[in-house]
A and B are shown apart, each in its own frame.
Chain A
Amino acid sequence: MLGVLVTGLAIGALYAATALAYNVMYSTSKVLSVTTGHLAMLGGVFGAWFVTELGWHPVPALFASLAVGAFAGWLTDVIAIRRVLARSDEHLWLLSTLALATIVQQGVALWWGTEPKPFPRLLPQDFTAGLADQKYWLPIGTTIVMAAALELFYRRTLYGKLFVAMSEDAFAARARGVETDRLRAISYGIAGALGALAGFAAGQLTFAFFAVGLTLTLNGFIALAVGGLGSNVGALVGGAALGLLNAFSANLIGGEYQNTVSVGLLMLVLLLKPEGLFGSRRVRPV
């Protein structure tokens, strides 16, 4: 049972990290981007490429992957968000991010191939460590650090405070002279780096595989909606709950009903507490 707990938490941590990336982008743009899971996928694929194909040391490979993720996040803003937010149609961003996500996924499939490829061992450790293996605790530890760092960032730094101000009221922030466009671009870059970091940390769990993106977009979103949109604590709790539910349902009833169980959880929470466990009630959009 302990094994199920640890594997569930490990994959749940990846969901939670994706939910955190959703939150960062949402705070400045009120947009939930379909590309969020793909940012993590890029971290895994590029990390593997830098280390196994180009022969780099894991540390520069990590920073290069973060740069790739940040660039992809920034590109999401430039291509799919900036032009579209100016228009009043509220659905356009969904279409543009969906299109971009499809392009990223299929592009990686054409370049990297559709078979999962190995992700390198990051720390020297024997494989017989069992549940103490780095492939479990790297994603768990990274996600916790990530959430803590985000909280510090929001509370202690000027940029963090500007993010909070923008998420409270973007118009008021702009009226006070905040460069909202630049802030949004920065937040997308940060989200991209966070996503890539999560994908890199969990690479040994997922392998470097192009199809991870869409799965994470969906499961990260479920974690986010269950925990509550905008809440980082919620993202952690939601991710852990979803990961554990997946692991225990696979253990008890088999792997055939994975998606059904996950979505069942989502529907249950949305029916009982539509704003999620830690979310704030949305104001009526008038």
Chain B
Amino acid sequence: MSGTSLRPMAGSVGVLVALATLPWWAGDQYQIHLAALIAAWWILVAGLNLVVGFGGQLSIGHVGLLAIGAYAFAILAGRHEWSPWIALAASGGLGGMCGLLLGLPSLRLPGFYFAMATMAFALIVAELVLALGDLTGGGVGLSVPGFPEPFESPAGHYLLMLGIATMITWCAWNVARFPWGRALVAIRDNPVAAESVGVPVFRMKLAVFVASGVTAGLAGALFASLQSYITPDTFVFELGLFFFVCIIIGGRGSIAGPLAGTAILTALPELVAPLAKLGTLFYGLLLLAVVLLVPEGIGRLFQVILERVRPRETASPVLEPDAARLAAAIRRQERP
């Protein structure tokens, strides 16, 4: 068993080393910027993936939580000159709190109701950002400070985001691996059955949703400092759709799939101009194709191909009766 789980571990470490040394082998600063942007999106998507991919709650409004984190960071670290670290933590905390406020009434709702409630939430945040101009700078927006040395340079900023993204990935991986994650999948696949075997459905959904709020808040703060300036135009509804598509296309219920989805969907339109022209239409087509053809996500498709090419050894466990205990049990039965 340990041999098989070591291999992906080694792979992950290899990828991580490659990513951590990116500033030294990347061609230019633009690539570093793009990598940092992917890291920011991934921090949000990793949390959202627990909600969508494991919990089965289709939130299309996480862009609202992202905006809250971004504006909180810009206001606290920029206008009030808090330490960026405390402001970052506060953004995550505020994201979690807003996640709680959104989740409490809406998580009890059935699928479509919930999706619409999250979409409405994103619209409300957009509306309030403009209406509360004295706080948020209104349409003009806010300038956002960076982090202190050694994270001030683009490469440093990237490494900071990579570090946080790695931490979040590790957390998400643990959640997914342990009984907790299994319970989440059970909720996604059959909430009624899950409840009947004693899974506290609502409490777990809420906890996961709050956690995704924290990651969205953190992602917002990091994204804002990466952009160095935020305006309401940045946080459009299509961005929320984008996060959602990253997860579905990558494959719900895994970590690697959505991670690959985020990286590819962020980088692809930058590299292939015709795709960029299609814009959101491209995401719509991709989403439809995946849902109809491979509902488990493209990640699952690769897995299937991989298994065709190199079949997994299925260990057939041999059950051997524990003769001593059996004998003891029989003896106990016989005694009276």
Contact = CB atoms under 8 A, between A and B. Distances in A.
Q: In the complex, is A directly touching B at CB under 8 Å?
A: yes
Max count, chain A CB within 10 A of own CB: residue among B112, B113, B284, B295:
B112
Contact of A102 (B115, B119, B130, B283): B283
A102 B287 contact: yes
A259 B280 contact: no
Contact of B119 (A96, A100, A218, A267): A218
Residue from B58, B121, B279, B281 whose CB has the most chain A CB atoms within 10 Å? B281
Contact of A95 (B58, B116, B119): B58
A225 B278 CA distance: 34
B288 A103 contact: yes
Interface in B116-142: 116-117, 119-121, 123-124, 127-128, 130-131
A286 interface: yes
B276 interface: no
Interface in A34-51: none
A259 B123 contact: yes
A83 B241 CA distance: 23
Contacts of A102: 241, 280-281, 283-284, 287
Interface string B89-129: 00000000000000001000101110111011101100110
Contacts of B131: 256-257
B113 A99 contact: no
B292 A260 contact: no
A221 B109 CA distance: 14
Interface in A231-251: none
Nearest to B115: A94
Contact of B60 (A98, A221, A259): A98
Interface in A247-286: 256-260, 262-263, 266-267, 270-271, 284-286
Q: Which of A106, A107, A271 has the most CB of B within 10 A?
A: A106
Contact of B113 (A83, A84, A107, A270): A270
B208 to A, nearest CB: 16
Contact of A260 (B128, B279, B283, B288): B128
Interface stretch (A85-93, A141-149, A197-205): A85-93
Grouping DSSP codes into helix (H, G, I), strand (E, B) and loop, the A interface class, with mixed when no group exceeds half, is helix
B127 A260 contact: yes
B268 interface: no
B248 interface: yes
B281 A110 contact: yes
Contacts of A91: 56, 58, 111
B184 to A, nearest CB: 14
B284 A106 contact: yes
Nearest to A267: B105
A79 interface: yes
A222 B280 CA distance: 25
A258 B248 contact: no
Interface of B: 56, 58, 60, 105, 109, 111-113, 115-117, 119-121, 123-124, 127-128, 130-131, 192, 237, 241, 248, 278-281, 283-285, 287-288, 291-292, 295
Given A95-B291, A260-B127, 18 more contacts: A87-B295, A91-B56, A91-B58, A95-B287, A96-B291, A98-B241, A99-B284, A99-B285, A99-B291, A100-B288, A102-B284, A102-B287, A103-B281, A103-B285, A221-B116, A257-B127, A263-B120, A263-B121
28 contacts: A84-B291, A87-B295, A89-B295, A91-B56, A94-B58, A94-B112, A96-B291, A98-B241, A99-B287, A99-B288, A102-B283, A103-B288, A221-B112, A222-B116, A225-B116, A256-B127, A256-B130, A257-B127, A257-B131, A260-B127, A263-B117, A263-B121, A263-B123, A266-B120, A267-B105, A270-B105, A270-B109, A285-B192
Instruction: List 7 tightest A-B contacts by C-beta distance, closest first.
Output: A102-B284, A106-B281, A99-B288, A99-B287, A256-B131, A103-B284, A263-B120
